[in-house]
Structure 1
Amino acid sequence: MGNSQRILVLAGSPSTTSRTAALAGHLAGRLRSHGHDVGEVRVRDLPAGALLAADAGAPGIAEVVQAIADADGVLVATPVYKAAYSGVLKALLDLLPQFALAGKVVLPIMTGGSPAHVLAVDYALRPVLSSLGAEHIVPGWFVLDRHIDLAAPSLRIAPESADPLYQVTDAFSAALAARPTLTCTT
């Protein structure tokens, strides 16, 4: 695997036509182009009954919990709901072990319709990621819904959002690459 780091991208939108999920997929592609091994999960596709019952052993849920455990980094993308992150993402985060993000680099990304919600990244999402033991939470980013164009043949992001978004994504990639690697000596 070389310097490749394992990243799990969690898209926490309940919508089937989600700008957030499309953006998360776009960023996953960017991280792959940096040489990372990237997996993607749309939380909305997990078994709802098991998710709401916090059944971490249920098929589908257990796989995601293990993927998080195996990841070096986690990108968490969510739309803003009620000045916080989505309920479907909360359901997943609530069933994770207390220190599920220990030793991991984490990138929080939020989307929303109004710049009034920009602080939700730092005041709603960052604290829960920290409480899960994240080693390093890189500065996240908030993207206005109107800056994400799903109508184009491939996702387009308005330049005023794209440049800083790519900067934080690249900083996340660099933070992962800078992590010390364990070597065995005999």
Structure 2
Amino acid sequence: MAHVLSVSGSPSATSRTTALLRHLGTRLTAHGHRVTALEVRSLPAEALLGADPLHPAIAAAAELLAAADGVVVGTPVYKAAYSGLLKCLLDLLPQYALAGKVVLPLATGGSTAHVLALDYALRPVLSSMAPAQITPGWFVLDREISVREDGTVALPERAAGPLAQVTDRFSLALGGRPVLSAASA
């Protein structure tokens, strides 16, 4: 099956966005895909802020992206836009870094007022990087993401069902096998 790179643009060490991406990674693995996680916060700040694409850690991140068939991009929404940390990484990547790839944009935030950040802030930047396809994304309210002690995620059905559907649609675009129940996340 496909190789998926899961990119978390959250600066937080206890990020619900990152937990949500792990949750999706588990579902994508069940679809037969191989998932690799990249937390942008783990990259050296001096390389990100100094715009150093030749730094070994940035070059390694670019290689992970180049090797992927699909990319899940997750970000918290701050002030109606995706995170500045994610922007730093995207700015360092080649212009057509997403060429030929299927992309799934995801966002988390404190209010439904931020839901449009997916389509009006993140999607245009991703589109400029020439992906083969950007599948429909999804926004999840922070308060709906509960991280259990074992690290697994619990979501109310109003979030779990649609999130499973967009994940399955992304998987199918990658050539994954369909699942019987879209809500079984």
Same fold at TM > 0.5: yes
Residues 58-91 of structure 1: per-residue CA shift (max 9 Å, x gap): 1211111011111110000000011010000000
TM-superposed deviation, 1:29:
1.2
Distance 2:128 2:160 in 1: 29
| Correspondence for 1:135 | 132
Write out aligned runs for 1:1-150 (5 A): 4-150=1-147
For 1:152 and 1:109, locate their aligned partners in 2 and report how far apart those are by CA, in whole Å: 23
For residues 32-71 of structure 1, give each alpha carbon's deviation from its aligned partner in whole angstroms, at most 9, with x where no partner exists. Answer: 1111111000100111101111211212111110111111
Deviation at 1:151, TM superposition (A): 4.0
SS of the counterpart of 2:78? Answer: coil
Partner of residue 157, structure 1? 155
Identity %: 61
How many Å apart are 1:152 and its aligned residue? 5.1
Moved more, 75-84 or 148-157: 148-157
Using the alignment, how far apart are the partners of 1:112 and 1:151 within structure 2? 19
CA displacement at 1:134 relative to structure 2: 1.2
Shift of 1:6: 0.8
Matched residue, 1:166: 164
Q: Deviations over 1:125-155 (max 9, x none)?
A: 1000000111100000000011100245421
Paired residue secondary structure (1:80): strand
TM-score normalised according to structure 2 size: 0.92
Show structure 1 runs of 4+ deviating over 2 A: 151-154
SS of the residue corresponding to residue 143 of structure 1 reads strand
Structure 2 unaligned spans of 5+: 177-185
Distance 2:3 2:35 in 1: 6
Number of matched residues?
Answer: 175
